[in-house]
Copies of this chain bind each other. A is one copy, B any other.
Amino acid sequence: MKSIKHRIIKEEDTLNKIAEFFKVFGDRGRLSILYSLFDEPLCVNSISEKTGLSPSLVSHQLRILRQSHLVKYERQGKHSIYELDDEHVADMIETAFGHLKHRGEF
């Protein structure tokens, strides 16, 4: 904790980067897209059906998630197969969920 704080102070814009990181998770649509990828990679249409979001919107948000390194994808014929970039993504969501649950939010 103390060491982390030290490093945060070092970089001028570290807080900015952390805030940007949180911001990506701070949208219901993006969060449900990430959540839809928890147990299996999916194409854009499948994500759209699973989340109820329009294909266009899903594509837009996936671009943001890509640029934030939260998802990665692979072209397979007509489809783009997306999956969570690494285990940290689910970690973040589970951590937040754990804290909300711990405070009796659910």
Contact = CB atoms under 8 A, between A and B. Distances in A.
A15 B1 contact: no
Contacts of A64: none
A57 interface: no
Interface of A: 1-2, 4-5, 7-8, 11, 14-28, 31-32, 35, 38-39, 69, 86, 88, 90-103, 105-106
Given A25-B19, A26-B23, A32-B15, A4 B99 contact: no
Copies of this protein in the assembly total 2
Given A28-B16, A32-B15, A38-B5, A21 B95 contact: no
B92 A96 contact: yes
Contacts of A95: 91-92, 95
